[in-house]
Amino acid sequence: MLYYMLSVFSFVTLGLSTSGQFTPPLITCKRDSDNYSACLKHAIQEAWPRFNKGIPEISFPPLDPLVFKYGKIIVNSGEIHAEVGFTNLTYIGLSEAHFSDVRTHFLDNDFRLEVNTDTPKLQIKGFSKQRWVLYIIYVIIYVIGPFIISLDDVVGTWDLIGDVVNDTWIVKNFTYPPSPRKFRLNADNLIEGNKVLNDLILGFVNEFWPPLYRTMLPAMIKMWNPWLVDIANNFFSKVSFSQLFP
């Protein structure tokens, strides 16, 4: 208990280190302690509200909402070929995330951080331009317009891997395969001027979303990876590794 009280005190006095360096908004956890994973989980949960609001001291932007400017995926899966471009994807709801487990692996200069997350509700708004080819009946469908995706009970693991160089962790890979319990797509004008076809597509996607989601997820993970790496390095490049993970 005394350890946690002292850790919380250091958290509250963020930015007041005598060295003048930025003090990260995290409770300090000792790697050789018996309850290291539990301490890390507690530390991240305690600091999460601060991250979501942003950390202006190091120009770290807010995480809720989180905006992905542009990306494109290509999916080839037997009977389906799809090319989908996304613009201004806005993720809302990350501030409510909970963390069930945290694991670290450190060998030589290689460091890996895994964080199990559970987000009750996540909403994704954006604009997409899509081209779908259904080979089984050879139909080509063009879809363009704004959309909203609502996800419930989203679980997944943040998996960050990188190198420690000069007391700085440089993240090289950041994968996150989110798995929702519920999925719903809403859009009013996917097929311009054709409400019947628009509603038909929505009905099909919302009915058969699990296999469609599994088909598209690997391409989405690949698209997200450099974006997530940039977000992670925006923080880790500005703090001492030995201070974060002593």
CB 115 within 8 A of CB 102: yes
pLDDT the model gives residue 154: 98
- The label of the residue with tokens 């063009």 reads 142
Q: Which of 115, 116, 185 is nearest to 151 (CA)?
A: 185
Asked if residue 242 lies in contact with residue 86, where contact means CB atoms within 8 angstroms, the answer is no
Tens digit of each residue's pLDDT (9 = 90 or more) over 43-79: 999 999 999 999 998 889 999 999 999 999 999 988 8
Q: Mind listing the pLDDT tens digit for each residue in 189-217?
A: 888 778 898 899 899 999 999 999 999 99
Residue with tokens 């419930």: 152
In 171-246, where does DSSP find H-type helix? Answer: 195-207, 209-236, 241-244
CA 199 to chain CA mean position, Å: 30
The reply to whether the predicted model has a pTM over 0.85 is: yes
Weakly modelled stretches of the chain, pLDDT under 50: 1-20
Q: Which amino acid is at 91?
A: Y
